[in-house]
Each structure stands twice: as structure tokens, then as C-alpha cells.
Structure 1
Amino acid sequence: MLPSRLAHAQATGSQGTGDSGPSRAGKLTKAPKLLNFKEVEAPYPESEKASERSAAVVLQIAISDKGDVQEVVVVQSAGPAFDTAAAESARKFKFEAAEVDGKPAPVKITFKYDFEFKEEIVNLGPQVNYSGEVLDASAGRKNRKPIPGIKIKVEREETDASGKKTLVTVAEAETDEEGYFEFEEIPPGTYAITVSGKNIATVTTEETIEPKKGLEVLYRVEPKAADGDAPEEITIEVIAPRIQKETTTVAIKTEEARKVPGTSGEALRVVQNLPGVGRAAFGSGALVVWGAAPQDTRVYLDGVRLPVLYHTGGFRATVNSDLVRAIELTPGGYGSEYGRGLGGLVTVDSRALRGDRFHGYAAADLIDASAMVEAPIGGKTRVAIAGRRSYLDDTLRFFSSEDVSEFVPIPSFWDAQLKIEHDLGENAKLSVIALTSNDRMRRVVTNPDPAQTISDERTTKFSRLIATYQQSFSDGSSVTVTPSVGVDDFGFVQRFGSTPSDQSIESKVLGTRAKWRGRVLKNLVVQTGLDLELSENSVRRRGSLALPPREGDVTVFGRPPTDVVNYDDWKVTLGNIAPYVQGDWELFGNKLHLVPGVRLDSFTVGGDKLYPTREGTEQRGFLRNDVVVEPRLSVRYQPNESLIFKAAYGRYHQSAVPEDLSPVFGNPNLGLGVASHYLAGVTYRMFEKTSAEVTAFTSQSEDLAARSPLPSPVVGEALSNTQRGRAYGGQVLLRQELFKGFFGWVSYSYIRSERKDREDAPWRLFDYDQTHVATLVASYELPLGFEVGGRLRYSTGFPRTPVVGAFYNARRDLYEPYFGAQNSIRIPAFVQADLRVSKRFKWDPFKLELYVDVQNITNQKNREDITYNYNYTKQNYITGLPTLAVAGARLEW
């Protein structure tokens, strides 16, 4: 949309509708005539372009007997920006003087000044049927940086008399200073397009010229050296290397993600608001995707697995959003490149660093403070450093009169990232990422009786060092190799009175991911690679056999654990190597895509203890290997630009976690869990920026680890692979992408998730089941840099097992509960409304945003769990955070 200036003006007063006539009585014999409107016409105000609205300002203009403007008064306002523009233009008007009784005389007229915002249609002429632009991909989507001097070659395949096929050049052109190129009268047909230049890798693509239709394209190509302008936004989508065609995508952009109320400007937290994702219990930061357990959903950064995406509490991501190029959530049915998980998949891609100048930001709010700096070093190297530190645990008491930390865990966390990029030569690049994350959460529920005081302390630490080598070739193929090393450290200490239960896990992680992608046939793109991961884990645990509670345990919050305690320390090595291959077969003019794939997973599990340690006995270790074949298939059919049908199937396996392989607390012989995903859906694009999507799914899982039902299980069999699971449902998403300052979406998910702990047991609700989840998000840009947005969330409460009675245990001197049917009641439904208001300022090269993000604006007492008094005769609820107004500021340069 381009602004259109006034096409005509009306001087109504001079034609008999003026506010007043000349200063003396007489008859108007000649109306004043405006002579120079086109020369002094007011431009459409820059500050109002985002609104794209038409406006009219009514002015009273005093004209002298010489035709000069003496005075301009606004009598009907359209807003300060429009009023100022109209008045300044009117003061420059020059009229042919009016006449009263046949003589020049001063008059006043009423003048209507129209501002219109129109779509400007540029007629390129019927002879131009293939045109476009070439832009620098490293400059970001919002910044338009054209690349001049790029050669566009159009070739067509022809067969000679001998039957030999060759490519014949039809036309060639170069981009101008604006990156624009055009071809005239290219005959209809399919052509091979080559995009080349001295500063970019030579790439090829394919275009079809249709009869009596013009083709306009936009190519974004990645230069050999990143020297583009600073991007102001990053598109959250998976971007193909080296060249990308502009296509419609339903991915959420960072500019939208940061504006979602309740996220405090954290772009990666938008994943929690997407369809298919259940609301995590407050304080957990877990991802509950399509009814799968949080630990079954895998998170990858540049192909390297991270243990968690969010800090404890879910307030922030463990990776700085300003270093992220793309994030994608796949709830199920993903391809053969990834595995080792039974649930969903989250992939995060880091962005290319900017090499034009020094960039950065600094931000602070009620929750934390963060900053990043980014700069080039020489002509081939770029570096960025980012960090974050929270202080909500210290500041919350100043903003809330309630001691919310009594029941709701308030975390303390920090993280840091370093990324270095270096250009190695022709189309080759090496990048190194070092990141670390540290969380600590502690809460104490006091009681006059010290034996009833409860404390819970958890730590989560991890670090990764990731190197990525990328090489692209002139035929469009590419090679990527990503080795990585890391350390993880997780622990908890729980005390009920003076009895502690604690566990610590220290892990060393190694990994390598190598892949090749290229076109092997005209309509077939193949990706193949090797995915390797190895971890050495040292685990120590002491205390109750029932702590920490696991899915399927029947318990209530605050209930003292059994007095059966034990101790064990053990070592576990987990290894996995998986070659894979996946093809993208394009059929029927690229309308149908078949994507078959297969992954050959080899799981190796070894440990130092097969039996509990006993004095005088020799310990035995164990080592086993399981090789499984995992087929994958997805189908995508797009009969027209508005409609897309899709379906997918996948088979997945997951190894037991190290903490479950103890001969005392678990079972060293636990095998692989298995899951199958099935999904089908349709997407309909009603308008350019408005779409609706409906997806149905089901997943079946088996051989999951479950706790033994026996009060005294057989040694080494506290857990066993007896649990089965099933989840099914559907989701609907109606989305308006950013248009005229507005964006938002409405999503609803119906997800039913159930478990069967053993073959003879009945199906029950999964502990994380949330049958209904609905989200409404909306944001609108107001004039003068203001913006307002809202979010409304609803979700079914988590299942719980009711307490139907209690008895006094004289030996332990406490009351023990009787339970009803497992997971037969629920916590009340969760409902929360959030509001965000922001104001932006810009002083080139600085940009400042001030915002207030009010979470739980209605102070809803959302129930997070059920509690009971000492003898289980009274029931109460733990509630989440009250109204929390997070005020903050962010300065960019």
C-alpha cells in the first residue's frame, strides 16, 4: 500500500457555502481560484502510514485581495498529524483573487483537505512477464537491501535430433541499483533460473511462465560476507540455505512474538501459546505437547539437543531470542532427521551475525536484566555476546502483599551466550556457539510443627559448545557438520521435617550431526546424514523410594513420604548412532509433495550396576544394544494458492533416562519406549494475511516405564516397561498475520491423553491431561508509536486423585489418606487475562521501547494444586501468581 496525495480540492465557501463573506457588504461576482495546489500539496503524514486510513481536515482560509493566504484555521480536525500537514500546505496556497461587485476583495473560504491511502498499481506493461528483485538475506526481512549487478540467466531444456537434452539460454539480465530485473515476452513454459554474482554463491531454481500472466518474484540470497544493514526483526520460520523464495507461511514472526502479552517481550515464549501446547503447571517451564510427557518433547539448537528450552518457572528461554533466526514447533509426525523422543520436536536455529557495524541492546524489567553486543572483527569474522540475570525472587515482595513463594516456586536464574562466525572461503563458513544456563529454585512451606515443615530446592545447570561447518555448492547442494560437547548438572533436595530426599545427576555429553542436502533429480530433493549422541552419567540418590513423584503415582501435595528409605549411586552410558535419509518428491507441477524417510537407530545402554551393592558380593555391570528401524512419511497437497492438505506418519523410540536405571530405585533392564504418530489436516488462506487451519491427530505409545504396583517390588524391578499410552484430538487455528498494525490468533485444542499402567489395569487420565485448551491473542499498533495487546487463556485443570478418608498411623504419628479412583477429579479450570501496553521512540541509530506487561489483570485466583489439613478433613488450593505488572524498557542500537 502506497500513500496517494489529494487528487482534487473543494473551496466550498467561495461557491456560496463560506463561513463569511468579504469585510464589506456586497455580492460575490468571482470566486477565488487555487493556482498552485500540485506544487505545495501536503504529503501523507509518515506517523499515520501504519493506520492506512483516509482523513479529511476542514480549514477556514482568509485570502487577501491579492490572492495571498492571510490566515489558516482548522475548523474540523482529523488528528494532529493531518491537521499540521494540511495547514502548512494551505499557508503556501496562491489564489487568483476573488471579486466582489466586480472588484478584487478579501474573502474567507471553507476548504476540505482530503488525505487518502490508496494502493498504487504499477503498470509494468503487457510485454514484461517475468520480473523481480534480489535482496540481501542477511539484512533481515524488514530491511530491504537490494543487491545490484546480480546476473539472472533464463534457460530452457531442449532435445536435439539425436535425443540429447541440453540447456539453451533464452535470456539474461542484471539487477539494477535497486536490485530489480525484468524480462520481456518470455514464452510460456518451465525454465531453469540461475542467480549468480561475485559476492554470492551461484544458485539455481525453477520458474514457470504461464500464458497471459506476469510472474513477479523476490529472491533473498545470502552473500559470502555478512555486510548488510542491521535487521530489525527475525522471521520465526525454517529458512532454506542460500536462497529462499518468498512464500506464505503460518510461522510466528519475532516482531509479533515479542508483543504477545504475558511473555514480557520474550519471543521464544510464544511457543507456549500455540495450538497443541498445553499449559504447564506454574513454575515448571515444561512443554506439554499433544498429551505427551514434558520429558518426551525434544529441543534442539542448531541440531544439538538442549535439556530444557525455558528457565525454571517458564519466565524466560535459556537461549537469548536476539540470537535466534528461526524456531519451529512440530507436535508430532516429524521427519527422519530427528529422533530419540516420543513426543514433539522444537528446533531453534541461531541467526547469522551482522558485519556492518556495532550493534546491541540492553533491557530490564521486573523479572530480569539482559544485554547483547555484536560487532565485526576484520572483514571475515563476527562476534556476539549476550547475557541475562534474574532478580524476581528479590523484587516480587515489593509488588505483591502475598507471600506467593510459600507455594509457588520463584526461581533465580542466569544465562550467557557467545557466538563467533568466520568466513572460510568460497561459500564456506564456520561458527562456534558457547552457552551456559544456571537455575536455582527453593521454597519452604513452614509449619508450627517442625516435623511438618516442607522444603524443596532444585538446581538445573547445563553448558554447550557447538561448532558448525557449512559449505554450499553451485548446484544448490550443501553440507553441514556440527560437533558438540556439553555438561549437565541437575539436582533436587526435598525435606519433610528432618528427613531429606535428594538426587543429583552429572552428565558429559558428546554429539555430532552431519548432513548433505541436494537435488538428485529434477523433481527430487534428498537429505541424508548421520546423527550421533553419547552421554556419560553419574547419578546419586538417597531417601524415600517414592520421591520424586513420577507420573502415575497416587499422592497429594505436602504428603510426607513413606519411611522406607535407601541409597544408591550408579553410572550409566547412553549411546545412539542413527544414519537417516529423507526425500522430497515433487509431483503434478509441484502441487503434491511426498516426503518419505527412514531412520536406523542403534541404541546402546551400559551401566556399572545390575544389582544393588551388597557387602561381600561382586558387582556386575550390563551392556546391551537395540537396533530399530523408524519409517516416516508426510504428504502435502496444494491444489491452489488458498488450500493445503497434509498428512503424516512416524515411528519413534526413546531410551530410558539414567535416573530410572538404578537397581535400587528403578530397573537396569528397562528397554525402549515406542510411539507411533498419525495426523491429518487442512489449511485455508481466506485472504493474503488471514488463514484457518484444522488438524486431527492420534498417537499410540507402549513399553513406557511405570512404577511396580507391589509394596515390596522384586530387587531391580521397582520400574518396568508395562505402561501404555494413547492421545487423540484436534486443533483449530484462526490467524491474522500483521496487517495495518494488527495481528492475532484464536486457537482451540481438544486433547485427550490416557495411560494404562499394565495390561490388566483400566485406562486412566494422564497426569498432564488438559482436554480443552483455548487461547486468544490480539495486538494493535496505535498512532505515535503506541501499541496495545491482550491475551486470554483457558485450559482444563489437571487431573487429581480424590482423598475419600484418612486413618491415624500410630507408628508414624500422622494421618494417612484413603484415595478414590485415580485421576477422577480435576483442579478447577485455568482462566487468565493479560494486557500489554508499549511506547516506542526512535533516535537513529537508537530505538527505545517502554512497556507494561500486566499478567493476570483480573487477579484471578487460579488453582495450581489441591492441599489438605493434617487429618485430611479440609481441602484447600494452592493458587498461582496474583496480578503482576511487569514494567520494562529495551534500548537497541
Structure 2
Amino acid sequence: MKMSRKILFFFIFGCVISSVTAEGDLEVRVQLVRSQTGKPIANATVVSKQGKTTAVTDSEGKAILRFPSVGYYEIKIIAGDKIETTSKEIRYKGQSLLIPISEISSSGIFVSGERDKTVLSRYGLNQEDIKRIPGVAGDSLKAIQTIPGISVGVPVGVLPTVFTNVGAGQISGNPYSNSERGDLSLRGGGTRQNQYFFDGFPLPYPFHIGNQSSVLNNNLIKSFDVYSGSFPSRYGFATGGIIAIEGTDKVEENKTVVNVNFFLSDAYNQTKLMPSLSMITSGRKNYPNFVLLQAYPQGIPQDAKYAEYQDFQWKLIWDMHNDHKLTFQTFGTRDRQAYTKQQASYERGGEDPRPPTGLDRGFRTDAVRYIWKGKTFRNTISYSRTEFNEFFELRISNPATAENIFGLQNRTRDTLTFAEQRFEWELIEEHLKFESGIQARSKETNLKGENITSNNRLFGDIFNNLLNSSSQFRSVIDGDRIRYKEASAYAEFQGKWNGFRLSPGGRVDSYSGSGEVNLSPRITGGYVFENTKTSILGGHGVHFNSPVSVEQLSRRSGNPNLFMERAEHDSIGIQQEFLQGWSIKIEGFRNIFQNIIVADNFAVDPYSLNNDLRIFANDPTKAINNPLTPRNLNYSNSGYGHSEGVEIFLKKARDPKVESGAFGWISYTNSITKRVNNQARRTSDENTNRALLNGSRQLLAQTKVGTNYVNYYDDNQVEVIYNNDREELYDLDRRHILNFVFGYKFNRDWQIGGRYRYFSGVPYTPIINANRAGEASTFGINLYFPEYSKNYNSDRLLPFHQIDIRIDAFDHYSWGYINVYLEFVNFYGRKNQTGYNFDNLKAYQNGVNPSSTYDTVNSPYIESQRPNGSPINLPLINLGMEVRF
């Protein structure tokens, strides 16, 4: 309560402070300098037509302009034959503006920017668009989830997937899956087949656990581009899509921004240490568990689960010379997944001595970049090293007594080294540009199970059964490691002539695991009608991605000979600009996914190296006498899928020169995605008979005819495993995805915004009955095993929909501003379904068991009661303040 009173007082205090501004003409000092060296630009004309003022810079690059009032003004700078236009906010009399100029130079400087980027299958938003998007507590990157073609996945939380099967908490799980855990699916691509980049360096994951917020500070993000199909040749190692985030790359003025709200605090600082040396520092810490448990614990849903996280970013920018630039940077994060309130009270009366994490993960990236710019070229050399660590705690408990049957801890360590040389050459100014480069990546992943515990007398039997039945589980307990390397080269031309646009290119990817080398041709083009501002777009691209999981590539429990996955992207669209700041883009697409890695119960290597450590320890003579042995590979490249649909993106851009007005965008996607694992569907009797038969014979050879396996055994028998699988809806398929983001700025002091989201529910395989198992020796109780429909992914969860509202109030001062904001997250308290949970202690009852589970992270709500005692769900209220000085 004391904390609540303090926050309320702070809010009232911030709102009643009035702005202090001077009346009449505002005299502003402007200084022009070269961004590379900090040297002044003399004899340059500085003009503001809107402010009706002009001046010429002196030998120190300084000039004085007089503006009639505060507000945004367009300032035009003319030096020789070079002209540059910028927009600045005039806030008070005596203000000083330092304007670095990069394009104005006696020798000329190569300039590359927005004009060089493809429009097809790319959606970009800048900081002004996303700065205060509602419902995300000031997290700009969450705007990615409002871009067309993006479906939110099940966040990565359990790695490797062996633990998904062992620790799911169900005795009998979903019989069918054609997806994996991950953050985002772009146009039906796999959630782990995307690549994320920050300033061109690999970003292990974009969001903290549960998709709560991004791993980057809001003020550090300058803009981002989402390539959902036919992305440029520079980008590889992905068959889904590319999310490229651009951070602040130059410091024009010293600035500090502090943001504090109910659930997190963050700070950002940029400082010009010297004319040619700048530094950027930022960090963030959240504390939802602490606030909610202290403020209103009875309002937290029983199954709510929030992650505690922190992140940091640091960058040093050294403009060594007009033509040379060097940057050093490091960024990283840590996430700790807390247990739910329900679980805490369930286990030992809430007095659980374990640390408050079931999952603890994080990464750190250290990077360096050197840029050499000439009049018509730019050469960029980049290097980064990323360390990823994950700690996962697995506990299997008796469902009746919560007794620990057994538990273990798994640690995964991943090291990714990345290097790139990129060369850009403007062959014909404004008409033809050439870009090429080479990239290299090496990855090493280690995992190890440790600290195995149990309080159950049957632990030994259960543990040994798992070891004997699952080579994946054995590899985790004994420890496992994979290493591989990738090398790529790419080239692309970007041509423009009159209204025609054409960008042919290609990429070559090599992967050490399978030893393959793949060529990826890509081309985008179109025509722009300048008079009507109409663009017709089209493109085609082939993309490859290497396997990503240690359990897939393990030489002891997986298939080390897996090939790269392949995707083919085709897109066509039209874009129209109209009125002032309005644009609409309509795009159709079809993506084909091949060589998808899927779980495979029938792939076998008849002559695999007998490298099981337990066999050497238990029976070394047998291991020596049998150096080669048949081994299940567990994975293969048998999967296939396709996705097709249409996207609409209507946007009203913010006008930085106008203090009031509306802005926002509407995105809509109508699509369908299907996949087939190409795995034989067999009855339990067929599987039992095959297991008995194979127990007395040995496989000598295996081949594939189409998608069918043909096995030859030492008893001279031939077995044909027919593929009778069929296409099913993709686990993350959402037929309709609608996002509506809007904002209205009444004046420089007040702004209101909203966000509405609607998604079709994802497919799932329904439970149609349950079979009583009788007295279960393991648990000593009666259990019920769910019976799933044979029609996989034949039903859908309920649609997701939600409204978020944000109100901003600004107080402007000579040193900056105070922004107090109030957010209503999930305004009408919608409980959005995420799945079903079957209670193995109860019989099947339609509408009761299984029961629905709900999203309490991306769609939070507070449980409360009406005066008459009936339940009601309220929005999550977030009050915060941002201070810039």
C-alpha cells in the first residue's frame, strides 16, 4: 500500500507540473559539423521556410535562427552543390542544435539507405511509428507482431525436445505435431527457421521468455525491417523470414531517457565523448512477480506464469576519419522463468526450497565492425561471438501427492561465431548498384544432465527404463555435443531506370554437416508509375537453412547426416501512395517448404558406429566385438509443407512537422498453411508385431523409394514401410490475422492510442474419450488415459482478440520532457485460450475435462469479483513515466 501511494503521488505530481516556455521569437543556435570528424561546416546556408528564418554559418559552423514558437520545423541546409533536409523540434529560447552532416563533403561520400531496400515482402517501421504503441509498456519491438504474415508461436522454453516428451506432465500426450517451439512463424515458416539480426549481428532470440518484451531497449531501436519472403541475397541461414533491427548509429546530441512503470524500469544514455567518439549505454530490469504478489496477489490467475528478465546494450562509435568508422558493441540478456502460483501452493504448501526458476537462460554478444567509405563504394567488415546458456530444471511428480518421482537439471551451452565482409559499389549513380559479400558461421553446442534427484522408491526402475528406451535421454544424461560450420557468398545487382526496378542476385551456402553446397537464385522487380505513385511488385527466391537442434544432429541419438531445409518463396503485389502520408500494399504469396526435419521412427543406420558410452562401461567385450550396430536416427528430412495467402497493409504515417493528427496502420492476413511429415501411420498392434519380429533379426540395408522405406534383413526378408501419411493443417496456422494500431495526438501535450488484435485459433487434435487404466503401480492410484481423435488438427481453439489502450501526457522543459503514461492492457479482460489440459486423475467429461488453459502473459488479466460475488476479469493497469533530459 505504501508503494501504491507513492506511485499515485508521483503520477499526480507529474501531471500538474506546467511547461515553461518562452513567448515570442525563439532564438536558436545551430552548429553544423561533419559527422565523421566533428569539423565545422562554414559558409553553409541554413533555411527554415516554415519558420521564416535563414542564416549562414560562420567559420565555426554556427548560425542563429529565430522561430516564432515552439514546435517541429523543417530545416534545409545548402552547402555547395549539396542539399540536405532535416526536421527538428524547437522547445525553448536559447536552445542549441548540433546537426552532423554526412553527405556534404568535398570528396563526396557513398550514401546507402532506405532507397536501396526492396519493397516486396518487406515491412518496415521506424521509431516514431512504434515509440508508444499501446499495451507493450513502451517496448517498440513488439510492433513486429502487428506486421502482416506473422503468427506468434509457442515461445522456446524447453530444450532439447527430449524434455518436451518426458516432462510434459501428461502420461499420454498429443499424438501428432508438425511444428516446434519458437517465437514467430512468418508466412507459415518454422518458428526456428527465422534469423534475427541487430545491427547486422546475429541475435539469438528477439523476445524474453513468453514474448513479454524484446531483448533490446526501446530507445536504442532506430527502425526494423521484416522480410517475410524473397528476402535479399545478403540474408541467409533461414527458410522462414528475416527480422533485421537497426540500432542508433550516430550521436547528434547528449541524451538520457529513463522509463519507470509498474512492471519494469529501463535507462538509456547517449554521450558524445569527443567530436569523433560517441558512446551508447542502456539497460532494463523487470519485476512483475514482485509487484503483482505485493499489490494484489488474489487477483493473479492460478496458472499465470511471468518471467523475470534483464538486458543490457553498449556501443562505442569512433569516426576515425571522413572515410573510416569503427564500432565496438556488446549486448545480452538473462531470463528466469518463475513457477505459477498454483504450482507453488501445490508443492509443499508453497514452501518450496528450490530457486524460483524452472528455466534460466541468457546470452551475450560481443561484436566489432569496421567501415571504409569512398565516393562510390563502401566496404564493411563485421565479427561477432555469441555465448548462449540455458539451465532447465525437470521434475516429474506424482500427480496425486506431488512427491518427486525424479528430477534433473540440464545445461545447454551454445557458441556462435559470425564473420562477414560486405562490399557495396554504386556503379551508376541513382541507377545501378552492386552488392556482394562473404559470410562464415561456426556453431558448437554442449548439453549435459546433472544433479539427478528422487524421493521415490521406484526411481531406479523408471530412470533405467528411460535410459534403455530413449537414446536421446541417454545422450542428455551422458552429455552431448555438436559442431558444424557454414560458409556463404552472395552477389546482387540493384537496377533502376525510369520506372523499372530489377534486383537479380544469388547466394551459395555450404554446410559442413552434410557436406552439401546449395545455390539460391533470387530476383525481385517491378515498375513504379511516378505520376500516380503506384508500384507493381514481384519476386522469387530460394532459401536454405541448416539443422538447428542438438538432438537432431547428435551422432549418438540423432541423425548427423541431415540435409539443409529448403524453401521457395514467390510473391506478387501492388503498392499505392495517396493523400498525405497514406499508403496501402496488397501482396499475395505462396511458399513451399521442402526437406523439413521431422521426428522419424523408421529411419535407421544399419552400420552406425557403436559409440554408446554405457555399452562400453557395462559390456566392453560386446562393444569391441561389434564396432558397428544398427541405430535409430530418430530424425529425417521427410517433411513437406506449403503456405499461401494474401496480405493487406494500410498505413497512415506520422507527420513530424505537425503537432497534432492521427497515425497508425491496419494489417490483415488471410492464409492457409499445411504440412505432411511423410511418416507411416500404424496401429498399436502393427507396431507391436513389428517390434517382436525385429527382435530376432538384424537390419542389413535400408533405402528409400519416394517417401517409402525399404528394409532388408539378415533373414532374407524385405520389409516395405508404406507412407500413408496425409497433409494436415500446420500447428500454427491462423486463417485470419487482423491488427489495428492507431494513435491521435491532440497537441504537443496529449496523445491517445489503441491496439486491437484478432487471430483465428490454432488447430489442435481433440480428445474424444479417456480409458481407465485401473490401479497404476507407479502412482498407486487410478489413472485415465486420454483418447485422441484420429483426425489430427481437425479442430481449432477459440479466436484470440484483445484491445489495449494507452494515454500519454507530456510536460516540456528546457532540459527535455516528462512523459506520464497510463495503459489498460486487455481492456475488456478477455481470457484467450492457449490449449487444453487433461487431468489424468479424472474421467473424460466434455467441457469439463479436458479444461481450457489461458494466455496470462501476452493477454494478461486480473481476477476479481463484482459486489454480488460473481467473478469478473479486469484489465491489467500499467502506470509509468518516461523522463528525457
Q: Which residue of 1 aligns with 2:643?
A: 727
Give, in angstroms, the shift of residue 456 of structure 1: 7.9
Unaligned runs of 5+ in 2: 1-17, 25-29, 47-53, 63-76, 88-95, 101-108, 158-181, 398-404, 453-465, 606-629, 679-706, 708-722, 862-874
Q: Secondary structure at the match of 1:293?
A: coil
Q: Which residue of 2 aligns with 1:572?
A: 482
Q: Which residue of 2 aligns with 1:365?
A: 261
Q: Which residue of 1 aligns with 2:506?
A: 598
Matches within 5 A, 1:285-324: 286-324=183-221
Q: Which residue of 2 aligns with 1:457?
A: 358
Q: Which residue of 1 aligns with 2:579?
A: 687
Alpha carbons of 1:865 and 1:638: their partners in 2 closer, same or farther (altered >3 Å)? same
Q: Which residue of 1 aligns with 2:592?
A: 700
Q: Which residue of 2 aligns with 1:418?
A: 314
Give, in angstroms, the shift of residue 403 of structure 1: 6.3
Give, in angstroms, the shift of residue 627 of structure 1: 0.8
Q: Secondary structure at the match of 1:313?
A: helix
Matches within 5 A, 1:280-429: 280-281=153-154, 286-354=183-251, 356=253, 358-398=254-294, 400-401=296-297, 404=300, 406-429=302-325
Q: Secondary structure at the match of 2:631?
A: coil
Q: Which residue of 1 aligns with 2:810?
A: 840
- Tell me the alpha carbon deviations over residues 167-192 of structure 1, each in whole angstroms, 9 at most, x when there is no partner: xxxxxxx9955999xxxxxxxxxxxx
Amino acid at match of 1:267: S
Q: Is the 8 A contact 2:329 2:366 kept in 1?
A: yes
Among 469, 492, 502, the residue aligned to 2:370: 469
Q: Which residue of 2 aligns with 1:254?
A: 127
Give, in angstroms, the shift of residue 539 of structure 1: 2.2
Amino acid at match of 1:506: R
Q: Is the 8 A contact 2:486 2:510 kept in 1?
A: yes
Instruction: Establish whether residue 818 from structure 1 lines up as the match of residue 787 from structure 2.
Output: yes
CA radius of gyration, larger in: 1
Give, in angstroms, the shift of residue 585 of structure 1: 1.7
Matches within 5 A, 1:28-47: none
2: CA distance, partners of 1:509 / 1:712: 30
Matches within 5 A, 1:717-866: 717-739=633-655, 740-758=660-678, 759=707, 760=723, 761-783=725-747, 785-809=749-773, 810-812=776-778, 814-820=783-789, 821-866=791-836
| TM-score, with structure 2 as normaliser | 0.68
Q: Is the 8 A contact 1:228 1:354 kept in 2?
A: no
Q: Which residue of 2 aligns with 1:639?
A: 529
Q: Is the 8 A contact 1:137 1:220 kept in 2?
A: no
2: CA distance, partners of 1:312 / 1:644: 39
- Tell me the alpha carbon deviations over residues 264-283 of structure 1, each in whole angstroms, 9 at most, x when there is no partner: 11112111111111234589
Alpha carbons of 1:668 and 1:406: their partners in 2 closer, same or farther (altered >3 Å)? farther
Give, in angstroms, the shift of residue 823 of structure 1: 1.1
2: CA distance, partners of 1:584 / 1:768: 35
Give, in angstroms, the shift of residue 869 of structure 1: 2.5
Q: Which residue of 1 aligns with 2:876?
A: 884
1: CA distance, partners of 2:319 / 2:803: 47
Instruction: Establish whether residue 648 from structure 1 lines up as the match of residue 539 from structure 2.
Output: yes
1: CA distance, partners of 2:879 / 2:506: 49
| TM-score, with structure 1 as normaliser | 0.68
Alpha carbons of 1:176 and 1:419: their partners in 2 closer, same or farther (altered >3 Å)? same
2: CA distance, partners of 1:246 / 1:536: 38
Matches within 5 A, 1:169-208: 176-177=56-57
1: CA distance, partners of 2:279 / 2:487: 32
Give, in angstroms, the shift of residue 892 of structure 1: 0.6
1: CA distance, partners of 2:331 / 2:226: 22
Among 669, 673, 677, the residue aligned to 2:565: 673
Q: Is the 8 A contact 2:786 2:838 kept in 1?
A: no
Q: Which residue of 2 aligns with 1:113?
A: none
1: CA distance, partners of 2:269 / 2:507: 40
Q: Is the 8 A contact 1:519 1:526 kept in 2?
A: yes
Give, in angstroms, the shift of residue 465 of structure 1: 0.8
2: CA distance, partners of 1:845 / 1:530: 46
Alpha carbons of 1:293 and 1:834: their partners in 2 closer, same or farther (altered >3 Å)? same
Alpha carbons of 1:485 and 1:405: their partners in 2 closer, same or farther (altered >3 Å)? farther
2: CA distance, partners of 1:538 / 1:484: 20
- Tell me the alpha carbon deviations over residues 538-581 of structure 1, each in whole angstroms, 9 at most, x when there is no partner: 1235899xxxxxxxxxxxxxxxx999553212221121111111
Q: Secondary structure at the match of 1:354?
A: coil
Amino acid at match of 1:754: K
- Where relative contact order (Cα < 8 A, 6+ residues apart) is larger, the structure is 2
Identity score, percent: 19
2: CA distance, partners of 1:500 / 1:791: 43
Give, in angstroms, the shift of residue 783 of structure 1: 3.7
Unaligned runs of 5+ in 1: 1-79, 89-132, 140-145, 153-173, 181-194, 204-216, 222-226, 232-239, 545-560, 606-623
Give, in angstroms, the shift of residue 246 of structure 1: 8.7
Give, in angstroms, the shift of residue 868 of structure 1: 2.1
Give, in angstroms, the shift of residue 732 of structure 1: 0.7
2: CA distance, partners of 1:247 / 1:718: 45
Give, in angstroms, the shift of residue 822 of structure 1: 1.3
Alpha carbons of 1:655 and 1:405: their partners in 2 closer, same or farther (altered >3 Å)? farther
Q: Which residue of 2 aligns with 1:510?
A: 417
1: CA distance, partners of 2:523 / 2:241: 16
Q: Secondary structure at the match of 2:219?
A: helix
Among 503, 514, 526, the residue aligned to 2:434: 526
Among 481, 490, 496, the residue aligned to 2:381: 481
2: CA distance, partners of 1:670 / 1:778: 46
Q: Which residue of 1 aligns with 2:98?
A: 229
Alpha carbons of 1:646 and 1:138: their partners in 2 closer, same or farther (altered >3 Å)? farther
Q: Is the 8 A contact 2:128 2:654 kept in 1?
A: no
- Tell me the alpha carbon deviations over residues 768-788 of structure 1, each in whole angstroms, 9 at most, x when there is no partner: 111110011111112461111
Q: Is the 8 A contact 1:731 1:749 kept in 2?
A: yes
Give, in angstroms, the shift of residue 326 of structure 1: 2.5
2: CA distance, partners of 1:430 / 1:826: 52
Alpha carbons of 1:755 and 1:419: their partners in 2 closer, same or farther (altered >3 Å)? same
2: CA distance, partners of 1:256 / 1:426: 32
Q: Is the 8 A contact 2:648 2:668 kept in 1?
A: yes
2: CA distance, partners of 1:451 / 1:891: 44
- Tell me the alpha carbon deviations over residues 51-78 of structure 1, each in whole angstroms, 9 at most, x when there is no partner: xxxxxxxxxxxxxxxxxxxxxxxxxxxx
Q: Is the 8 A contact 2:31 2:99 kept in 1?
A: no
Give, in angstroms, the shift of residue 353 of structure 1: 3.4
Amino acid at match of 1:833: I
Please identify which structure carries the higher helix content: 2
Q: Is the 8 A contact 2:467 2:474 kept in 1?
A: no
Alpha carbons of 1:711 and 1:255: their partners in 2 closer, same or farther (altered >3 Å)? same
